Amino acid sequence: MQIAKMWRYPVKSMLGEQVGEAGFAASGVDGDRRFALIDDVTGLVATAKHPRLWKGLLKFSAAADGGGARITFPSGWTVDAEDPAVDGLLSTALGRAVRMSAERPEAATVERPAPEDVLAQGVEAEVAAATLEIGQGTPGSTFVDYAPVHLITTATVGEVGTEYVRYRPNLVIETPPGTRPYVENDWVGGEIRIGDEVVLRIVLPTPRCAVPTLEHGGLPRAPHAVRALMADNRVAVPGFGVLPCAGCYAEVVRGGVVRVGDAVVVTNP
């Protein structure tokens, strides 16, 4: 197995950037989920998990720029994430008052409707949403959902039959022909060695929200990106319940640099 693709998403719920190499540390991938928008009204972290309010974030993209990020609007216009004008510009574009944050607030939370409800009622419906604390498995101040690294295999993506970018992974692992889909479920509790430096520990299967079903830039809606998981891969996720999953979350045991093409060796628990 090897690393086929590597991504980071400097602003939470915006489109990210593909990279050829990146540093990995306890807090995750260098530059990943470095920023997020905070809803001025509720104080919650803005995320496309709540599509009625925030699906528009997936029309924007962000790329790391030194220690910061550069945001590209749907029009192609760009602005620095730490520009004093960015809050007003994004509030106007999104139709809701927001402010950019470079530090995850203590006990930062998001609203997450069940994807089943979003699919049944539609992305514009007022769907009941659970409030969840983010970053519980990650040291530091980044805005990851849970653990610092998210990965998925080509076997799983191929089985679902959709674009891997919908799942917003940091790492796409190319698996040999014949690898069964959802093999990531078997890796929980084990370790992954990448190249000569980095070691990850797999901590949980990745529960899927409504985000993979939404428009991503130029990609259309894809309800099957989660419906397939509802049918074929509902998994007991400790602390969260039995949920549709694809991919897995990992923590960094030993940091270093990962490059596309690096060999991947899994030590199952």
Which tokens go with 211?
């985000």
pLDDT digits (tens, 9 = 90+) for 190-241: 999 999 999 999 999 999 999 999 999 999 999 999 999 999 999 999 888 9
Reported as a single tens digit per residue, the pLDDT across 142-194 is: 999 999 999 999 999 999 999 999 999 999 999 999 999 999 999 999 999 99
Element spanning 264, H or E? strand 264-267
Residues 118-150: tens digit of each pLDDT: 999 998 988 899 898 888 878 888 999 999 999
| Backbone dihedral region for residue 55 (phi beyond 0: left; psi -120 to 50: alpha; all else: beta) | alpha
* pLDDT, tens digit (0-9, with 9 covering 90-100), for 40-75: 999 999 999 999 999 999 999 999 998 899 999 999
Domain ranges of the chain: 2-267
Place of tokens 């998994």: 235
Over 80: is that where the pLDDT of 264 sits?
Answer: yes
User: CATH code for 2-267?
Assistant: 2.40.33.20
Cα distances (Å, whole numbers) of residue 136 to 13, 109, 237: 18, 10, 14
SS3 187: helix
Count CA atoms closer than 13 A to 117's CA, side-chain side: 14
Q: List Cβ neighbours of 43 (8 Å cut-off, separation of 6 or more).
A: none
